[in-house]
């Protein structure tokens, strides 16, 4: 049975519209070439649509074989000190990993480029504005507590309302 009042349809028109919030992502001192943007769209249902694009991700595998990176929303929107001030995953309901509200699907990169779009029912825009999105250098294993053994924080962006 469909739980949504309407079929969930992501149209090209919506993706061309300005987002409700965004995060400009930049790499840390070890990976300064990483860049990207994460766009957040409100939906008429519960949840948001997250649309992300990343460039110059480090290559951990031979060419044309995807690399995987942990991707999370972290508690604080402070990318200073090589991202140490972002704290842990956004987890307002004190759930074990991988059930934090900030646990996101992994980013898959091929030759340093990644694009993804995902509907996330457990997030609301009002709850994530001012927090950060983080890319980690290892894939999230979805088991290890408290953060999936996803390695170092290699890129960060602060989630801000779209005001342009």
Residue 16 lies in a domain: yes
Q: In the structure, what pLDDT confidence band is assigned to residue 25 with cuts at 50, 70 and 90? A: very high
Is the per-residue pLDDT at 104 higher than 90?
yes
* Number of domain units in the chain: 1
With beta carbons less than 8 A apart as the criterion, state whether 120 and 103 touch.
no
Residue 133 lies in a domain: yes
Which pTM was predicted?
0.88
Instruction: Give Cβ neighbours of residue 101 (< 8 Å, ≥ 6 apart).
Output: 73, 89, 90, 91, 92, 93, 95, 122, 123, 127
Domain harbouring 37, CATH code? 2.60.40.200
Q: In the structure, what pLDDT confidence band is assigned to residue 1 with cuts at 50, 70 and 90? A: very low
H-helix or E-strand containing 15? helix 12-16
Residue 7 lies in a domain: no
CA distance from start to end of the chain = 39
Is the per-residue pLDDT at 98 higher than 80?
yes
Q: What is the mean pLDDT of the chain?
A: 87
Residue 5 lies in a domain: no
Residue 134 lies in a domain: yes
With beta carbons less than 8 A apart as the criterion, state whether 37 and 159 touch.
no
Show the domain range for 40. Answer: 12-161
Residue 6 lies in a domain: no
Q: Reduce the DSSP state of residue 4 to 3 states and report it.
A: coil
Question: What residue ranges in 75-140 does DSSP mark as E strands?
Answer: 107-109, 114-120, 132-136
Q: What pLDDT sits at residue 2?
A: 52
Residue 152 lies in a domain: yes
User: For the segment 35-90, what is each residue's pLDDT rounded down to a tens digit?
Assistant: 999 999 988 778 899 999 999 999 876 766 778 999 999 999 999 999 999 998 89
Which residue carries 């309302």 as its tokens? 161
The predicted model gives 129-140 an average pLDDT of 94
Residue 2 lies in a domain: no
């Amino acid at each position: 049975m469909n739980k949504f009042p309407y079929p969930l349809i992501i149209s090209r028109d919506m993706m061309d519209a300005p987002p409700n919030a965004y995060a400009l992502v930049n790499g840390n001192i070890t990976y300064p070439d990483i860049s990207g943007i994460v766009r957040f769209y409100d939906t008429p249902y519960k949840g948001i649509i997250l649309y992300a694009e990343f460039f110059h991700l480090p290559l951990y595998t031979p060419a044309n074989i995807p690399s995987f990176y942990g991707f999370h929303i972290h508690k604080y929107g402070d990318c200073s000190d090589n991202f140490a001030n972002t704290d842990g995953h956004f987890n307002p309901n004190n759930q074990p990993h991988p059930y934090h509200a900030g646990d996101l699907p992994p980013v898959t990169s091929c030759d340093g480029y990644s694009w993804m779009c995902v509907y996330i029912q457990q997030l609301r825009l009002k709850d994530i504005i001012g927090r950060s999105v983080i890319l980690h250098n290892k894939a999230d294993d979805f088991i290890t507590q408290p953060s999936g053994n996803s390695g170092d924080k290699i890129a960060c962006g602060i989630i801000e309302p779209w005001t342009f």
